[in-house]
Amino acid sequence: MLLPLLTALASSVALGNAFTDTSPLFMFSTSELLTSAPQIASASTVQETIISQFSKCPSDTYIIVSQPGVHAEDYSDRYAAPHLRRKVSGEDERIRSTMSVTDVLGQVNAEEIVASVEERCGAALLRIDASTGSFTINDDPKPRIINVDFPALPSASKERSSKLKENDVFLSSILDLLPTSKYTVIYTTSPYTARKSTEHVESEMYEMDSPFSSSQSHMGIKRDFSVHDKRADENDGNVTLPDAPLFEKYQYFTPGIFMGIIVILPLFMILYVGVSAVGSLQVSYAAFDREMGPHMAKKGQ
């Protein structure tokens, strides 16, 4: 009994770790496309499916978006990318076909999709760097490809959500300024773990090629750890301000105190109602007099 249980647990852990290296993909179009894909698919399968849809060049504009450093959980909040959600969910009446893959194993090569559309449809390529915050779209009736490159999302959760909303607004503004109503958007992503591994490899290469001596490297490491500890203390709220006023130096109203007050107020109200009910009871003095029935009257005579 124990061996099958351990095997099942190990399989579930391995499956969970496998999905951490996945990222979603979205596609929507104002043209009729035969788009269908499972929720979990390899990057090569998804890429072949997308390229096969462009054999007849159904749109005038093809927008290929690249968003690195994300995961499916980043789009789980309905307010994370509201414009993208509205397009993919079919709330926009102009969208006639959609496709979404929650977990893509690997990375879809956006450059190969661009090259395929260029070759088949004779479309002109326009690259937009979203980090600059500006773009120009000409009123040319010829087919075009707009390749939008978004920067990777930061690691902090609040900053990730804010940046994702900014990117969503940027993409929506591109769609609003298109000179044609026939367009197809391929929203490709890459997982956050892939970004971290790339940064780790680059840091290791930098350390191997560093001309500084080992002693200087140790000093740099110690300095970085001290800065990290200082930032950690600041994030935890344990910063001491010796010259600050009393109410800025200490925190008197904590969430625990606030929760206690919220709980105590209803209890005091219940107690007040109970005491008021007991105090409002009224009994007449005649209720304590002895009854003088016929039997008691004869006994008195």
pLDDT digits (tens, 9 = 90+) for 116-136: 999 999 899 999 988 888 888
- Predicted local distance difference test score (pLDDT) of residue 299: 55
**pTM to 2 decimal places:** 0.58
- Predicted local distance difference test score (pLDDT) of residue 254: 75
d(CA 172, CA 114): 20
- Predicted local distance difference test score (pLDDT) of residue 205: 47
User: Please, how many CA atoms are within 13 Å of residue 125, restricted to the half-sphere of its CB?
Assistant: 15
d(CA 80, CA 162): 8
- Predicted local distance difference test score (pLDDT) of residue 11: 41
- CB distance 23 to 71 below 8 Å: yes
- Predicted local distance difference test score (pLDDT) of residue 229: 45
The pLDDT tens digits for 267-295 are: 999 999 999 998 888 877 666 666 555 65
Low-confidence stretches of the chain (pLDDT beneath 70) = 1-20, 193-253, 285-301
Roughly how many angstroms between the first and final C-alpha of the chain, as a whole number? 93
Q: Quick one: which H or E segment has residue 300?
A: helix 294-300
Instruction: Tally Cβ neighbours within 10 Å of residue 294.
Output: 7
- Predicted local distance difference test score (pLDDT) of residue 7: 41
Rg of the chain over Cα atoms, rounded to whole angstroms, equals 34
Number of H helices, E strands in the chain: 10, 7
- Predicted local distance difference test score (pLDDT) of residue 235: 46
- Predicted local distance difference test score (pLDDT) of residue 132: 86
Report CA-CA distances (Å) from 1 to 4, 93, 222: 6, 55, 50
